[in-house]
């Protein structure tokens, strides 16, 4: 049975931290290669003069590999054995290793993503903060995205208007546009910090509190 503990920060970011520690058995690593081929289409025709004309697009091939780790962790204290399947982690694990898997379940959900894996035998920890639940992920508000566009358009129009007022040449117009771009970037960064600075700071603190608690739970988990 996995150890479970409720977590929250400032009465937000409610979730359950789940940890299962045990001896690894039945470790299996598989790699799946996905290949996509495109191109090769086109057309050719023979003209009245007997010459063959046309074009064939070149064939391009792209591929990516997904790694699947499957294993069991048998807890010696409780005798409980759990099976795990993790994709794109590429963990270092062999049969007999003492290890623990960590996953987060948001409040109101029955399941959640793996975010950490610790191998006690190798003293190696893998973290995947990018897989934290949506409550820990930052998104730019739609209102700020719209405001960004407005600032950019306004800056460009102002630069063009100024260039026309002084009958500037092309080089001066380009200079005005560059200055307008820098001003737009600076203003948008200021507006983002003004609107989202406190939220981002709280999110960073919540992530740190979560990772600190996970580290402590990993150190206290019984094999």
What pLDDT score does 48 carry? Answer: 66
- 99 near 118, Cβ under 8 Å? yes
Query: DSSP for 160-182?
Result: HHHHHHTT--HHHHHHHHHHHHH
Q: Hey, what are 117's tokens?
A: 């894996």
Interval 78-113: pLDDT, tens: 888 999 999 999 999 999 999 999 999 999 898 999
What pLDDT score does 30 carry? Answer: 93
What pLDDT score does 50 carry? Answer: 66
What pLDDT score does 2 carry? Answer: 78
- 21 near 104, Cβ under 8 Å? no
Cα–Cα distance, 152 to 188 (Å, whole number): 9
Cα–Cα distance, 195 to 197 (Å, whole number): 6
Neighbour count for residue 20 (Cβ, 10 Å): 22
Mean pLDDT of 4-25: 95
Torsion angle, CA of 114/8/191/151, rounded to 10 degrees? 50
Entry pTM: 0.75
C-alpha distances (whole Å) from 217 to each of 13, 178, 213 are 18, 52, 6
Interval 163-198: pLDDT, tens: 888 766 778 888 888 999 999 999 999 999 999 999
What pLDDT score does 71 carry? Answer: 97
């Amino acid at each position: 049975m996995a150890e479970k503990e409720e977590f929250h920060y400032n009465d937000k970011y409610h979730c359950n931290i789940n940890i299962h520690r045990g001896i690894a058995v039945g470790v299996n690593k598989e790699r799946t290669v996905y290949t996509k081929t495109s191109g090769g289409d086109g057309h050719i025709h023979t003209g009245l003069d007997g010459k063959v004309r046309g074009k064939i697009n070149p064939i391009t091939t792209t591929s990516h590999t997904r790694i699947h780790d499957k294993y069991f962790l048998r807890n010696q204290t409780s005798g409980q054995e759990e099976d795990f399947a993790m994709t794109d982690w590429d963990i270092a694990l062999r049969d007999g290793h003492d290890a623990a898997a960590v996953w987060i379940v948001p409040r109101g959900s029955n399941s959640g993503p793996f975010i950490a894996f610790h191998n006690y035998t190798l003293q190696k920890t893998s973290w995947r903060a990018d897989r934290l639940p949506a409550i820990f992920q930052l998104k730019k508000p739609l209102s700020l995205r719209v405001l960004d566009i407005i600032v950019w358009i306004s800056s460009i129009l102002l630069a063009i208007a100024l260039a026309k007022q002084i009958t500037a040449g092309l080089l001066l117009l380009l200079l005005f546009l560059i200055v307008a771009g820098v001003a737009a970037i600076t203003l948008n960064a200021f507006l983002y910090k003004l609107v989202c600075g406190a939220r981002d700071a709280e999110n960073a603190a919540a992530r740190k509190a979560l990772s600190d608690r996970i580290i402590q739970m990993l150190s206290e988990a019984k094999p």
